[in-house]
Structure 1
């Protein structure tokens, strides 16, 4: 029998076109590269991995930028750039730095700029909703910097904010509201969340009519998350292992509603919290415990902003610092700083529970996980 190959060809092409294409999401990993008082850094710089969006797998890490202690990395909203702090202390040089990179077509990085953060131990980067301005928090010295991004993504100094009581102040993060009108600075040392008005036209911050909200002495607010509708906000408090819930008013002010422990009732060993993220659905809130070595999950009451404990989940590693939820909300990845691995969980989108999904992936001293399109 003679087979007409020309007739089979369209069928063959159609079958190829029917094979689903699995998305491979680029993921950048911030690390520690040198030994500090709180960490034994072993990494080489910023690593690139790729996430299989269907299975949750991560590819082997590849170092794509040689930076000292790139402990926090942030992708620009337009996808063109990646920014990384260089967390340097007073014994390391004149200041910390923020590095600017151009993302190539293969997601590798080309450095295009480097600028001082005008203080020490920069530990967090935020970018406003327009993508025009970047904010850097220096853990040492009470200094928050505002930079303007040019068309290439290179940063230029716009404003320097010096917080009260600089010797004790430890600004750990800046968070910008979705309407781009307000900035919230978590000051771990002063136990305050500073509230600023943000002018997106000029890029300048100015104190809000309610300039700050106090937290309990010794709480140490570190990172911040908004509810889905932004009627509520949440802090993760490093020093007393708690989460605080605030009601947010139209003028940007915050009113403390309630605080919750991040730990099980029977745990009395040393612990410090690190990161906090709301699930893309807005239904669940997650936070990381360093010491208990877990992710704690809460259900969010959207009417009141209050939280209901779901459970605690071991990260199968030591000292989980930052973690990230995949863009589709299906997976959670936790960076275990002191055991050189990243743990992977599948998220049950119905009840918020975490399911141990795959064995942890080896990465040297990982501390920040950043998805980018």
Structure 2
């Protein structure tokens, strides 16, 4: 007998499995690169023991919440509104209070002071929030007040602003360094971060430049943070860096995210280290796959494991469950989220249950 995820969710929830809230960012309108169909931010619940997902429910109507981020204390959710020059005066970040039933109550909205905001990061204290604007070379730093409303602290404008495309900010676990992946300038900018004053300042090594045509997009750290990994959108590669004690980056090696015989068009999107630190995963839009690597913890290098079809089209963001047992991939152009079980011994993925239907999903965020 075949059980769909929503039915399985209902059956298993009565047997005491944990139900983890998961928020889904989406596109809601047609842009040059996507035919948005959704209504806003969706809420689903994941059953920890089985990986099943409940039916998606829209809990906040807004335009293009293409990236969402939960605060570490589980009290707030933040969502970009990815707007272009023809839409409004700027892009925005919307602030929500997460209520007891995991539904959302909007409590604030603030400009990102440029256009097409595409990523949110929160520092290790949970006090500061960073937003990357894909257009205009602007990165914003905000402070959270007691309710979770955002207050402007600092505006960073990267060089060559017209060509710059900052795609993400990543904060080290020691909360001392910020790494900005700038696809347009083909650099990873390195900043010192002072959580006492809430300010960024250029590192002694202000940036590392990647190989021509790479296009750094997202960033991930090894478990001990001795190494870091950049997923590069334009040439479908992953660059391994060794980090030094001052936050500097030194290129170790680069790896293709694609099979050798693939000659189609592809754009990489997301990258995540497994919680155990032994495996690294990345998404391919075009090849429509998740690629898995074994991580050598001594030198940070990668050993290819396999590619896995996402059972959908244009997988953008993906998320690994906090317990490291399941991986969920948001297939933007086929309106579904695929579910994989992770073999924690060898890092291999296996399709698990039926994909969940969600309109134009692009971001998956577990909340505490």
Q: Distance in 2 between matches of 1:217 and 1:258?
A: 14
How many residues are aligned here? 355
- 2:238 maps to which of 239, 243, 254: 243
Q: Distance in 2 between matches of 1:114 and 1:37?
A: 25
Question: If you compute each CA radius of gyration, which structure gives the higher value, 1 or 2?
Answer: 1
Q: 4+ residue runs of structure 1 moved beyond 2 angstroms? A: none
1:31 aligns to 2:19 (yes or no):
no
Instruction: Quote the offset at 1:20 in angstroms.
Output: 5.6
SS in 2 for 1:106: coil
SS in 1 for 2:64: coil
Instruction: Point out where structure 1 has 5 or more consecutive residues left out of the alignment.
Output: 1-18
If the length of structure 1 is used for normalisation, what is the TM-score? 0.95
> In the alignment, what sits opposite 1:152?
147
1:219 aligns to 2:224 (yes or no):
no
> In the alignment, what sits opposite 2:200?
205
RMSD after superposition: 0.7
1:260 aligns to 2:272 (yes or no):
no
> In the alignment, what sits opposite 2:73?
78
> In the alignment, what sits opposite 2:335?
340
> In the alignment, what sits opposite 2:4?
none
1:89 aligns to 2:79 (yes or no):
no
Instruction: Quote the offset at 1:21 in angstroms.
Output: 1.7
Highest relative contact order (Cα 8 Å, sep 6+), 1 or 2? 2
Instruction: Point out where structure 2 has 5 or more consecutive residues left out of the alignment.
Output: 1-13
> In the alignment, what sits opposite 2:125?
130
Q: Distance in 2 between matches of 1:145 and 1:218?
A: 26
Instruction: Quote the offset at 1:69 in angstroms.
Output: 0.0
Q: Distance in 1 between matches of 2:296 and 2:98?
A: 39
Q: Distance in 1 between matches of 2:145 and 2:245?
A: 31
Q: Distance in 1 between matches of 2:208 and 2:15?
A: 50
Q: Distance in 2 between matches of 1:139 and 1:158?
A: 20
- 1:363 maps to which of 358, 364, 368: 358
If the length of structure 2 is used for normalisation, what is the TM-score? 0.96
SS in 1 for 2:333: helix
Cα deviations by residue, 1:305-356 (Å, 9 ceiling, x for unpaired):
0000000000000000000000000000000000000000000000000011
